[in-house]
Amino acid sequence: MFNETQLEKNVEWLIAHASPPVVYLTHLNLLNVEPDTQKMKELWGNVQRSSSSREIFGKQREDGSWYDGGSWAHNPTYMQKSGYTPVSPKYVTTAWLLAKLGEMGYTAEDPRVLKACEWVMGWQWQNGVLSEAKEASKSLKDNPDPPNVPCRMSIQIEALAKVGFGSDERLRRSWELMLRWRREDKGWLREDHLDGTASPYKIWHRSCPYVSYFSTSALFYSGIPKYRKYAEESLGFILWHMNQKKPEELRRFFWHGHEPLKELLMFSELGFDPEQKPIKGLLGWLEDMYNPDEAYFSYKGRPYSKMTSRRDGANARVMKYRMYHQAEDDWLTYYATRVFHNFLK
C-alpha cells in the first residue's frame, strides 16, 4: 500500500504532466480546492479548450445528441439506416458521450450538456422508463409495472447522474423503477434471462455484472444521499461476483461488460476492506504499473489495435472507447492515486 509521501509525489507529477481535465480533477478531488476559486476557474477554462472537449463537442448535433462521437466511432458508411437512440449504437451515442463528459468534470450547468440531458429525457415514458422507442403504445408507456429491462436504461441513467442531472425531479420515477427491479442479491437482470429466451440463451440464477455495474454506478453518482447505501449494497454483489473469479482474470480495464478500475474507485470511496481478495488483487495490478522513480502509473499491456473479442473480450474499436480516459498515463495515475488515498483514510 502507498503512503502519503508517495501519493503527494503522484500529485506533483499530475500537476506537472497531466492533461487539462486531469489537472482540474486533481485539484478538485485530491487537493480539495473549491471549484469557485479563481485558480479553479482558470483550470476549468483549460478543460474547455482541451483536445478531449473539442473532440467530443465537435461531434454534438444541433438537437444536443450524439451519433458519431469519438475517435473510436464506426466509419460513417456503417451507420445504421434505422437511426439512433440515446444509447444505441453503443459507444457513439449520447449516453456514452455524456458519461465521458461527466468524468471530465462537466455538469448540466453547461448549456451543451443540459441540452443533451433534455434530449435524453425526451425518450422517457410516463412510467419512468428511459426508453429507446418514442412511438410505443400508450398502454406500454403508462404501464405502472413495465417489463424488467434495465440493461440500456441503466446506461442512460448513469450518464445523466455523472453530469449532475440525477436529482432532477423528472427522474424520480426512473430511480424508483431501477430500485424496484433490483433483485435479492442486490444486482439486476433482464426478466428474459430467467427463462433463457434472451441472448446468450441460458437460464441465469444470479444477477448480471454488466447491468449491475451501470446501475450501481448510477446510484453512486446520483447526488442523492439516500442512494449511497443502495450503491454500497449493489457493490457487494459485484464484489461477490469478482470473488468467484481468479484474481488474475480481473486485471484489466474492461471485463465482461464492467470496468474494474472504476469499481475499485467506488470500493475505496465507500469504505470496503482493501484486504478482500478481489480488491487486493486489483490494487496489486495497479502497483505493477507504478513507476516509483517518476511517481506515475503507466499501462504496459497490449495496444488497442491488437485486441480481439476472443482474447480480450472486445475488439479494438470497443476497447478504444472503454480504455479512453482510463489507460492513459495521466488518467490512470489520477484514478490510482485517488484509490490509494481513499484506502489510507
pLDDT digits over 197-239, tens only?
888 888 899 999 999 999 999 999 999 999 999 999 999 999 9
Model confidence over 77-93: pLDDT tens digits? 566 667 899 999 899 99
Q: For residue 63, is pLDDT > 80?
A: yes
Model confidence over 27-62: pLDDT tens digits? 999 999 999 999 999 999 999 999 999 999 999 999
Q: Where are the alpha helices (DSSP H) in the chain?
A: 4-17, 20-25, 38-48, 51-57, 94-104, 111-121, 138-142, 150-162, 172-180, 209-220, 228-243, 260-269, 277-288, 309-312, 316-323, 329-344
Dihedral sign from CA coordinates of 207, 212, 215, 220: positive
Q: For residue 245, is pLDDT > 60?
A: yes
Q: How confident is the model at residue 75 (pLDDT cuts 50, 70, 90)?
A: low
pLDDT > 70 in the chain, percent: 97
Strands 290-291 and 296-297: antiparallel
Consecutive H or E run containing 290: strand 290-291
More confident residue, 339 or 138: 339
Give the C-alpha separation, 147 to 132, whole Å: 14
**Under 8 Å between Cβ of 61 and 94:** no
Give the C-alpha separation, 23 to 1, whole Å: 24
Q: For residue 324, is pLDDT > 90?
A: yes
pLDDT at 111: 98
**Under 8 Å between Cβ of 259 and 271:** no
pLDDT > 90 in the chain, percent: 79
Q: How confident is the model at residue 294 (pLDDT cuts 50, 70, 90)?
A: very high
Mean pLDDT in the chain? 94
Model confidence over 328-339: pLDDT tens digits? 999 999 999 999
Q: For residue 76, is pLDDT > 70?
A: no
